[in-house]
């Protein structure tokens, strides 16, 4: 081949390469051989569930069986009971209904729904007491194999000093008592380690997640980013007292997510952390009442079967999304990017935002100071490079193609419809898609 023709040929190859690249970046989806596609496919289906629930076994105001029916009647597929430091196992747990603010109301409704000899009552010194049913009793009565799954869980309710440190453990066999630690992060780690040790001993699928980091502004992004063996925390908690949005001094739970993801995936060589949405319901009467009510936030898990053995490993792989009202039909992540399809509802608009951090981000951070210049306990302040808005699209589907510098990209979908019973005033319905690992991440081993 003559030199001039060789050069021409070289340019032709370059031009074809450029065209291929260009068409790839404009492709509507990011599908390729390595894609992880989350959509119903004949083998797997979406299951809707809530992982954080209180009842009369601790500080909730209703019976387990009535709470289970609340969710079952609204087409949830699964529900995990998580009372504070207790499993519903004792057959001798009685409550004095006069001591509960809604005790009479709750008992009347219980008897209406279960009229035939289900309720155990007794009189003690003229006061009515009701026996709380165990998890097994409630599961046998209200659970439906393959249709409605009840999971035994616990909110491990620990603290360090004045800071509450709460973690929900799902599908546990034995109670995990608060493990105590010498710092907030050690308190989290020791409770996580206790669950992992029970999982290894028992061989049973179980998971633990950190609850409401901004409750009492107890847990910072720096505490959470270094935790090992735990992959989940609540980016959305439906309790109105947990400060999802933060305040002037404290980062929002979503801002914390971006800091945690950036540090874990680019500096700490730790695996991704997933964001959950949960109810943390305590109040089941007179809804809506601006209290801590069910139905505000949930997860959609794509799994082969409605059982913990399928669903917990699916969640650990990130095969789920979190939502406060937006439903997705498909999420696709691959080495090329992330794409999202919303199950659009008539008359509702959707904005899809892709958020992430590029590898050249400013790594510095500063403490938050009080008015006397003293550092306070709060997530540090980081550069706006962390958790940048990379792209936004109005409409029910969108794709983001990696440019090559992203550490991760996640998606947030916001509906034009206000949440019907918001935890914070003026919340819109949203969904949070789990992060896709970008080409600039330093991959962790596990
Ligand atoms: Zn809690
Ligand atoms: Zn709780």
Domain contains 265: yes
Dist. CA 244 → ligand 2 center (Å): 14
Dist. CA 40 → ligand 2 center (Å): 31
Domain count, the chain: 1
Q: Do residues 78 and 51 touch, judged by C-beta distance below 8 A?
A: no
Dist. CA 18 → ligand 1 center (Å): 53
Two tokens, residue 71: 């969710």
Q: Do residues 270 and 226 touch, judged by C-beta distance below 8 A?
A: yes
CA 318 to CA 435: how far, in whole Å? 9
pLDDT of residue 370: 94
Dist. CA 377 → ligand 2 center (Å): 23
Look up residue 85 and give its DSSP letter. T
Q: Do residues 406 and 363 touch, judged by C-beta distance below 8 A?
A: no
Q: Do residues 319 and 301 touch, judged by C-beta distance below 8 A?
A: yes
Q: Do residues 142 and 148 touch, judged by C-beta distance below 8 A?
A: yes
Dist. CA 152 → ligand 1 center (Å): 17
Domain contains 408: yes
Domain contains 18: no
The number of beta carbons lying within 10 Å of the beta carbon of residue 255 is 18
pLDDT of residue 6: 45
pLDDT of residue 271: 95
Q: Do residues 265 and 274 touch, judged by C-beta distance below 8 A?
A: no
Dist. CA 53 → ligand 2 center (Å): 6
Dist. CA 54 → ligand 2 center (Å): 6
- pTM for the complete prediction? 0.92
pLDDT of residue 23: 35
> Which H or E run contains 67?
helix 64-73
Dist. CA 318 → ligand 1 center (Å): 23
Domain contains 254: yes
From the CA of 212, which ligand is nearest?
Answer: 1
Dist. CA 58 → ligand 2 center (Å): 10
Q: pLDDT (tens digit, 0 to 9) for every residue of the chain, 446 residues total?
A: 444 444 444 444 444 443 333 333 333 344 444 679 999 999 999 999 999 999 999 999 999 999 999 999 999 999 999 999 999 999 999 999 999 889 999 999 999 999 989 999 999 999 999 999 999 999 999 999 999 999 999 999 999 999 999 999 999 999 999 999 999 999 999 999 999 999 999 999 999 999 999 999 999 999 999 999 989 999 999 999 999 999 999 999 999 999 999 999 999 999 999 999 999 999 999 999 899 999 999 999 999 999 999 999 999 999 999 999 999 999 999 999 999 999 999 999 999 999 999 999 999 999 999 999 999 999 999 999 999 999 999 999 999 999 999 999 999 999 999 999 999 989 999 999 999 999 999 865 44
Domain that residue 305 falls in: 33-93+132-437
Dist. CA 41 → ligand 2 center (Å): 34
pLDDT of residue 35: 77
Dist. CA 155 → ligand 1 center (Å): 7
Domain contains 103: no
Domain contains 113: no
Domain contains 26: no
- Burial zone of 94 (CB within 10 Å; 0-12 exposed, 13-18 middle, 19+ buried): middle
From the CA of 167, which ligand is nearest?
Answer: 1
From the CA of 215, which ligand is nearest?
Answer: 1
Domain containing residue 256: CATH number: 3.20.20.140
Domain contains 104: no
> Which H or E run contains 434?
strand 428-437
């Amino acid at each position: 081949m003559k030199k001039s023709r060789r050069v021409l040929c070289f340019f032709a190859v370059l031009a074809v390469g450029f065209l291929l690249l260009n068409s790839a970046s404009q492709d509507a989806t990011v599908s390729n051989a390595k894609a992880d596609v989350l959509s119903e496919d004949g083998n797997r289906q979406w299951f809707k569930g809530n992982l954080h629930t209180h009842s009369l076994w601790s500080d909730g105001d209703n019976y387990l069986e009535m709470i289970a029916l609340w969710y079952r009647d609204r087409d949830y597929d699964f529900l995990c009971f998580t009372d504070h430091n207790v499993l519903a196992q004792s057959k001798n747990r009685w409550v004095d209904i006069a001591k509960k603010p809604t005790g009479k109301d709750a008992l009347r409704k219980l008897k209406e729904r279960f009229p035939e000899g289900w309720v155990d009552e007794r009189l003690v010194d003229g006061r009515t007491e009701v026996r709380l049913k165990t998890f097994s009793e409630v599961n046998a009565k209200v659970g439906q194999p393959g249709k409605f799954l009840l999971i035994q869980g616990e909110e491990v309710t620990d603290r360090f000093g004045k800071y509450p440190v709460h973690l929900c453990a799902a599908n546990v066999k034995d109670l995990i008592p608060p493990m105590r630690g010498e710092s907030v992060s050690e308190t989290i780690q020791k409770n996580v380690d206790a669950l992992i040790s029970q999982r290894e001993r028992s061989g049973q699928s179980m998971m633990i997640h950190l609850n409401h980091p901004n409750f009492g502004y107890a847990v910072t992004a720096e505490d959470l980013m270094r935790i090992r063996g735990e992959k989940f925390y609540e980016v959305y908690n439906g309790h109105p007292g947990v400060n999802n949005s933060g305040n002037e001094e404290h980062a929002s739970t979503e801002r914390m997510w971006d800091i945690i993801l950036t540090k874990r995936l680019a500096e700490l060589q730790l695996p991704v952390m997933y964001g959950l949405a949960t109810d943390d319901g305590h109040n089941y009467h007179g809804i809506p009442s601006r209290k801590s009510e069910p139905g505000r936030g949930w997860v959609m898990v794509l799994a082969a079967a409605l059982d913990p053995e399928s669903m917990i490993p699916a969640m650990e792989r990130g095969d789920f999304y979190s939502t406060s009202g937006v439903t997705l039909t498909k999420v696709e992540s691959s080495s090329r990017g992330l794409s999202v399809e919303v199950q659009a509802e008539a008359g509702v608009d959707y904005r899809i935002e892709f958020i992430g951090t590029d590898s050249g981000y400013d790594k510095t951070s500063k403490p938050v100071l009080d008015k006397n210049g003293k550092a306070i306990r709060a997530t540090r302040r980081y550069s706006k490079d962390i958790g940048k808005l990379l792209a936004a699209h109005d409409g029910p589907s969108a794709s983001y193609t990696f440019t090559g510098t992203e550490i991760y990209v996640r998606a947030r979908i916001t509906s034009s419809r206000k949440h019907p019973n918001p935890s914070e005033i003026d919340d819109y319905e949203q969904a949070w898609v789990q992060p896709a690992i970008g080409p600039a991440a330093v991959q962790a081993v596990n």
